[in-house]
Structure 1
Amino acid sequence: MNIPREEQAHESTSSTAPGLQMEPQLAPRPKTIKETGVSESLLLDLVTKHLLSAGVLTREQLVNLIGVTGGIIQQLLDTAKSLAWVENRQTTSDGQMRYALSAGGEIHAKLALSRNGYLGLAPVPLKQYSDICQKQSSRSKAITFEMLERGLSALVLPKDLLFKIGPAMNSSRPVLIYGPPGTGKSYLCRHLNLTLGDSVLIPYAIAIGNEVIQVYDPELHHKVDEGGKGNSLNLSEGHDPRWLKCERPLRITGGELTAEMLEVQFDSHSRTYMAPLQLKANNGILLLDDLGRQKISAKQLFNRWIIPMEERRDFLSLQSGEHFEIPFELILLFSTNLDPKELVDEAFLRRLGYKIHFDALDEELYKKIWFQVCEDLGLSCTEEVFQYLLVEYHKRYKKPLIPCYPRDLLGIMSDQISFMEFEPVVTPSLVDSSWSIYFV
């Protein structure tokens, strides 16, 4: 499969796709404190913590910081004022009332921060998260051959590979992709999200009782531009602002994976909880790259995920010891260069369901990639020079036609051409020197 044209392959279809037809219906904007699904005390703590952080805020600013309607914010401010936590300050030039903490409110806010340092949008209740996560499952709409071919159109792939990957994407079982290095396993996995072509709602945070776990990660969750529609003060417009419309997440982890990353993480300094990687990847794809090279063994990993892989639900716990259940609603992919039988026993391999082998290409596909990379790098190459590469190097040294070779060899030639100020033409001598540099 093709390694180049990364920019083209990374163009997101999600921002222009219609997305799930659901937003306001799936996550309606709450009109009362009760409809938020979280306690009034948690919301009051958020109001006071935001005021402690900012000093002075208007109602509209609090609406944007907490993600609930102006009516709910006003109700919270009235309660805070009745408790002598909040005071009115001079209005803004356009007549908006400004609010600040009293001395008693400052004491309360600091106590709230010492218990829980979370400062962001109001969280959504766990039950609502579970319901919406399951309704947004990528499996709710079957992936067809046409969708897969269109989503991966920027890549050069053997057609028989599509017939293996497509059904695996529709399965609820994990997928193991294995084969020699350089055959494009990881590269393909990184582009599978393009086949889904829609968007999902991601909560900024989840409430477990009065504890808050942040889920939204700006490095992973890429927000979809909604054209600035929806006024937070208007009860009738848009979905619940505590949910962010994003592309389906693609979470990739490799050798850095540890057992701790699979559990809720508590930062004792900031007093905040962060979601484990599988929770952040829900409604998307989780790729565990280079399986067998992690700090946690493959056997330990599979032992940890036996129930999630089979029942599509996971069990997590907080520092207090409280346990809770979340959906395990994602496409789980494993990629490895190692022999799968050396990683885990036959019983675990059976649980993976789909095992897809990647190997070298045939000459036709290899040639297609070669000339595609030439075009991308602005290089000219004749058929004769390409045949020279095949006969004098691949066939003579019995080197398989691995998809990564064109990108790597032509990249070296492009560097040499720039350095020597040559014409951008691939020649036999450039083939000779790049091969000697690339292979040991």
Structure 2
Amino acid sequence: MLRLSTADKVKELPTNHLSCIEIAPRPKSIEDTGVQETLLLDLMLKHLFAGGVVTKADLVTHMGISGGIIQQLLDSAKQLAWVENRQSSPDGQMRYALSQNGEESAKQALARSGYRGLVPIPLAQYSAVCQKQSSRRNSITFEMLQNGLSSLVLPNDLLHKIGPALNSSRPVLIYGPPGTGKSYLCRNLNLSLGDSVLIPYAISIGNEIIQVFDPQLHYRVEASNNGGALDLLNGHDPRWIECKRPLRVTGGELTADMLEVQFDTHSRTYMAPIQLKANNGILLLDDLGRQRITAKELFNRWIIPMEERRDFLALQSGEHFEIPFELILLFSTNLNPNELVDDAFLRRLGYKIHFDALDEPLYRKIWFQVCAEKGLSCSEEMFRHLINDYHLLFEKPLIPCYPRDLLGIMSDQMSFMQLKPEVTKALIAEAWSIYFV
């Protein structure tokens, strides 16, 4: 049903209508951070403990707050006899280190929490920004979807089904036989959203900190308007990282634990669940029905989030808190939806979109597109031979993954046998016998 073109490039699409500076201005005081001074002091002590002797600029970089706020914290730490001045660096910057009392206080802080990163964003601030960045604030249009997926080969009616589903607040179930391009399409839908969003490095619930930013999921956007670390006037709050809208894909490895806040007893740190990491983006649950958590258990867990767009999580202490559920939730399955859950659950999904085999013109387009990508020549006669003497004869539907797979086998044969890069009857026969059982 679909195939990326050779270019494989992302088109430039509309950006967020609110600038990063408007959404998250730089804090100019301890109060602006939204975090208690005691937590800030604990975090600074941990950075000093890890760094040994550091400058104020180092602390600005490690904590993501201004030099003015760092200076206030240093003054407070000195009054508590936690921090000492050391000899200036060669460029004239004052350097700081922990006193003996400071080291003891740092060890106590690390025993309470092993987190050592940027100053967290308080939950209330995170929720407000997350709502402002919701993809549903700007409707996806047919033109946006068409541009975002222009490198894919799609049936004409599919965009008219997918587009409205993305604009809804309901989850989307995509189902159909294997190889029809369900997962492939879902993995490219975030190209249509286009704009970047701010992801917090971490959020705080009281004095507990949960790391949200995941470098394997969140792809940074190079900011052109963010000033230097010591500059209070330019750029957005550095505790927020500007990223492409996230796309989180999980399949058979999904467990119930992955939907909850994770606490590492060794490092004494909290990590965000998958839905929190995917906020303001897309969460795709691939191969629904094959996870380690049953489809019924999964839907039971997410009834409230799916309907009310808010989720409830808990810390190790048992404290519960609410987060926005501002993401596009997609389910993909090769199984019959009626075998997974009952009608009541299917009704909650809202949109159910069926993927099936292609018609011959689209299959032909993908076939010759893959030929071009692999540098293979194929005559019209050979393509007709494939359709008439194999697909029709053996009653194999025109599934969109077949061109890539069959031509890949032929290409391997050509390399091994040192043949011309040309599709022949013998190569088609050999590839077919290898591919199909």
Matched, 1:182 2:179: yes
Tell me which residue corresponds to 1:126. Answer: 123
Matched, 1:167 2:164: yes
The residue correspondences of 1:319-338 to structure 2 (distance < 5 A) are 319-338=316-335
Deviation of 1:25 (Å): 1.2
Q: Is the 8 A contact 2:140 2:193 kept in 1?
A: yes
Q: Which of 254, 269, 276 is matched with 1:272 structurally?
A: 269
SS of residue matched to 2:139: coil
1:129 and 1:159 mapped to 2: Cα distance?
40
Q: CA offsets per residue over residues 79-135 of structure 1, 9 Å max, x none?
A: 111111111111111100011111111111111001100010000010000000011
Matched, 1:281 2:274: no
Matched, 1:342 2:321: no
SS of residue matched to 1:282: coil
1:123 and 1:280 mapped to 2: Cα distance?
15
Structure 1's 69 and 266: CA in aligned 2 closer, same or farther, altered over 3 A? same
The residue correspondences of 1:279-428 to structure 2 (distance < 5 A) are 279-428=276-425
* Letter of the structure 2 residue corresponding to residue 2 of structure 1: L
Tell me which residue corresponds to 1:222. Answer: 219
Matched, 1:249 2:246: yes
Matched, 1:29 2:50: no
Matched, 1:3 2:8: no
1:124 and 1:13 mapped to 2: Cα distance?
32
2:272 and 2:220 mapped to 1: Cα distance?
18
Tell me which residue corresponds to 2:200. Answer: 203
2:4 and 2:35 mapped to 1: Cα distance?
48
Q: Is the 8 A contact 2:225 2:234 kept in 1?
A: no
1:373 and 1:263 mapped to 2: Cα distance?
42
Q: Which of 414, 432, 439 is matched with 2:436 structurally?
A: 439
* Letter of the structure 2 residue corresponding to residue 3 of structure 1: R
Tell me which residue corresponds to 2:74. Answer: 77
2:105 and 2:245 mapped to 1: Cα distance?
39
Q: CA offsets per residue over residues 143-169 of structure 1, 9 Å max, x none?
A: 111110110001000010110000000
Tell me which residue corresponds to 2:237. Answer: 240
Structure 1's 284 and 8: CA in aligned 2 closer, same or farther, altered over 3 A? farther
Deviation of 1:22 (Å): 2.0
1:30 and 1:364 mapped to 2: Cα distance?
57
Q: Is the 8 A contact 2:203 2:212 kept in 1?
A: yes
Tell me which residue corresponds to 1:261. Answer: 258
Identify unmatched segments of 5+ residues in structure 1.
none
* Letter of the structure 2 residue corresponding to residue 81 of structure 1: K
Deviation of 1:2 (Å): 2.1
Tell me which residue corresponds to 1:153. Answer: 150
Q: CA offsets per residue over residues 205-261 of structure 1, 9 Å max, x none?
A: 000000000000000000001248411111100010000000000000000000000
Identity %: 71
1:264 and 1:433 mapped to 2: Cα distance?
51
Q: Is the 8 A contact 1:63 1:70 kept in 2?
A: yes
SS of residue matched to 1:159: coil
* Letter of the structure 2 residue corresponding to residue 99 of structure 1: Y
Deviation of 1:13 (Å): 4.7
Q: Is the 8 A contact 1:24 1:238 kept in 2?
A: yes
1:51 and 1:413 mapped to 2: Cα distance?
60
Deviation of 1:50 (Å): 0.5
Deviation of 1:23 (Å): 0.9
Q: CA offsets per residue over residues 159-193 of structure 1, 9 Å max, x none?
A: 10110000000000000000000000000000000
2:111 and 2:69 mapped to 1: Cα distance?
25
Q: Which of 31, 37, 41 is matched with 1:40 structurally?
A: 37
Q: CA offsets per residue over residues 359-389 of structure 1, 9 Å max, x none?
A: 0000000000000000000100010000000
Q: Is the 8 A contact 1:308 1:328 kept in 2?
A: yes
Q: Is the 8 A contact 1:13 1:198 kept in 2?
A: no
Q: Is the 8 A contact 1:221 1:247 kept in 2?
A: yes
1:399 and 1:370 mapped to 2: Cα distance?
15
The number of residue pairs the alignment matches comes to: 437
SS of residue matched to 2:157: helix
Structure 1's 280 and 83: CA in aligned 2 closer, same or farther, altered over 3 A? same
* Letter of the structure 1 residue corresponding to residue 108 of structure 2: L
* Letter of the structure 2 residue corresponding to residue 295 of structure 1: R
Deviation of 1:56 (Å): 1.1
Q: Is the 8 A contact 1:290 1:337 kept in 2?
A: yes
Q: Is the 8 A contact 1:125 1:208 kept in 2?
A: yes
* Letter of the structure 2 residue corresponding to residue 304 of structure 1: R
Q: Is the 8 A contact 2:196 2:242 kept in 1?
A: yes
TM-score (norm 2): 0.98
SS of residue matched to 1:266: strand
Q: Is the 8 A contact 2:4 2:153 kept in 1?
A: no
Deviation of 1:19 (Å): 3.8
SS of residue matched to 2:431: helix
1:39 and 1:418 mapped to 2: Cα distance?
65
Q: Is the 8 A contact 2:85 2:97 kept in 1?
A: yes
1:79 and 1:383 mapped to 2: Cα distance?
79
* Letter of the structure 2 residue corresponding to residue 215 of structure 1: V
SS of residue matched to 2:199: strand
Q: Is the 8 A contact 1:4 1:373 kept in 2?
A: no
Structure 1's 245 and 20: CA in aligned 2 closer, same or farther, altered over 3 A? farther
TM-score (norm 1): 0.98
Identify unmatched segments of 5+ residues in structure 2.
none
RMSD: 1.1
Tell me which residue corresponds to 1:68. Answer: 65
2:114 and 2:10 mapped to 1: Cα distance?
35
